[in-house]
Amino acid sequence: MKKVILILVALFWCNVGFALSQDQAINKYLSDRPLANIEGIFKSTGKSVSIMAITKTSSNNFTCVAIKNRYIQSGNLQCNLTGSGNVYRGTQLVQVDGQTQNINVIFEIFNGSINWTIPDYNTTQQNSYVRIWPTNIDSHNANLGGNNLEMISMINKAKDTCKILGFTEGTDKFADCSLKLYTQRIELAAQNNQQVVIQGQGSTSTSSSGSNVMTIYDPVRDNNALIKRGQGLINGNCTLGDLSNC
């Protein structure tokens, strides 16, 4: 069995790095815009302090940039990821049997922390990061005009979290878990005066001129109706194409 040494390196993978502080990383990659769930500044929980910025490059693609790392020069790339919600997959360089290799990794977000694993190798080492900026991403996004939340994205994030917690999709417990987390997000949206948008296909739009549906709800006004509609989508009693039964 190959022995995996979880030492991140930056050899021949990226351009020559530059010294990068936390404030510089925020200003360069993250300031003045709403952030995706995985974006921000993260700090490792291990004995060796590591700090990195995760930023979107395009669509659902993200990169990690080292700010402080024992083995990576500040400003160099640390990983490449693709995903949404709470689960992201990609690659990063580690040393395997003394050789630098670009291997597969999985990043999972739970309560502001990132747990990352190496699926192709057996290892008992715990790898995790905690978010240190922004400390509350929902409040950050609300303050920067990120007031429109996509309902389906909220539901998918709730489902991803319940999968991480060990619930089996399709069971009553999984549906209850998803609904509880979704309801909490709706209540938080109401507190932050955020609007919820449904996008899909059908003819039930209140603001659509064609087949593309965009219905905007105000959680403060429509809190119970929005929760009921989300429950219908989670349980499969209705679809984006037919919201009449929700």
Q: DSSP characters for 83-96?
A: EETTEEEEEEEEEE
Q: What is the DSSP string of 178-217?
A: HHHHHHHHHHHHHHTT-EEEEEEESS--SS-SSSEEEEEE
Q: Hey, what amino acid is at 159?
A: K
How high is the pLDDT of residue 240?
A: 64
How high is the pLDDT of residue 99?
A: 66
How high is the pLDDT of residue 61?
A: 93
Which domains, from first to last, does the chain contain?
4-137 (2.40.128), 147-235 (no CATH)
How high is the pLDDT of residue 179?
A: 92
How high is the pLDDT of residue 133?
A: 95
Place of tokens 């995706």: 36
The predicted model scores a pTM of 0.59
C-alpha to C-alpha distance for 78 and 42, rounded to whole angstroms: 12
Contact 117, 105 (CB under 8 A): yes
How high is the pLDDT of residue 100?
A: 63
**What is the DSSP code (8-state) at residue 122?**
-
How high is the pLDDT of residue 75?
A: 92
> Residues of the chain whose pLDDT is less than 70?
1-18, 94-96, 98-100, 122-126, 145-148, 199-214, 240-246
Contact 195, 186 (CB under 8 A): no
Render the burial of 132-159: b for 16+ CB within 10 Å, e for the rest: ebbeebbebbbeeebbebebebbbbbbb
Contact 129, 175 (CB under 8 A): no
How high is the pLDDT of residue 3?
A: 46
